[in-house]
């Protein structure tokens, strides 16, 4: 390859930049609309739903751990946790090793809510993938993974 060819590969045209920005904005809008629908359907604010989903990976969580994973301040997490406790979706348990620490875990009702939410998300994502021709699904998934990796790389540069 000559120098000109290499330069052409790294150039980003104004059209490409605009198209990328528009597509990201539309994807973000679709996600926001789905999240609003999901909140209405499950009768929970988005923040409470996101918090609940964190328990799918863990048996117990601490308020500090939730705040870190959701990237919000601890006072905001307190309100989210209080809302979930009032709805009997999570419960507070004292840490047997350190009584100063509160552990949070799902209640039976919380497990049921997460299972319904997972089934809903599986159904939505399956419907989206069914809209993609079968021969293009693997390419789509590889490109989405590449996009995710690229976005994470840029995020690291911003820190």
Instruction: Locate the domains of the chain by residue range.
Output: 14-158
**Which CATH architecture is the domain 14-158 placed in?**
Orthogonal Bundle (1.10)
Taking the C-alpha atoms of residue 17 and residue 11, their distance in angstroms, rounded to an integer, is 10
pLDDT at 1 over 60: no
Q: Are residues 56 and 105 in contact, defined by beta-carbon separation less than 8 angstroms?
A: no
State the pTM of this model.
Answer: 0.79
- How much is the pLDDT for 96? 81
Taking the C-alpha atoms of residue 150 and residue 159, their distance in angstroms, rounded to an integer, is 15
- How much is the pLDDT for 5? 47
- How much is the pLDDT for 58? 83
Give tens-digit pLDDT for 124-156. 999 999 999 999 999 999 999 999 999 999 988
């Amino acid at each position: 390859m000559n120098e000109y060819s290499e330069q052409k590969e790294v150039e980003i045209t104004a059209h490409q930049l605009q198209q990328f920005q528009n597509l990201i904005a539309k994807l973000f809008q679709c996600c926001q609309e789905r999240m609003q629908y999901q909140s209405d359907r499950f009768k929970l604010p988005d923040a409470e739903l996101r918090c609940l989903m964190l328990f799918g990976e863990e048996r117990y969580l601490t308020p500090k751990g939730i705040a870190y994973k959701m990237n919000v301040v601890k006072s905001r997490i307190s309100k989210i946790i209080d809302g979930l406790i009032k709805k009997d979706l999570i419960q507070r348990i004292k840490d047997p090793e350190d009584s100063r620490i509160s552990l949070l875990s799902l209640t039976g009702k919380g497990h049921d809510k997460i299972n319904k939410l997972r089934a809903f998300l599986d159904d939505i994502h399956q419907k989206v993938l069914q809209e993609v021709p079968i021969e293009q699904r693997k390419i789509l998934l590889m490109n989405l993974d590449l996009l995710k990796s690229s976005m994470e790389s840029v995020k690291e540069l911003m820190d």
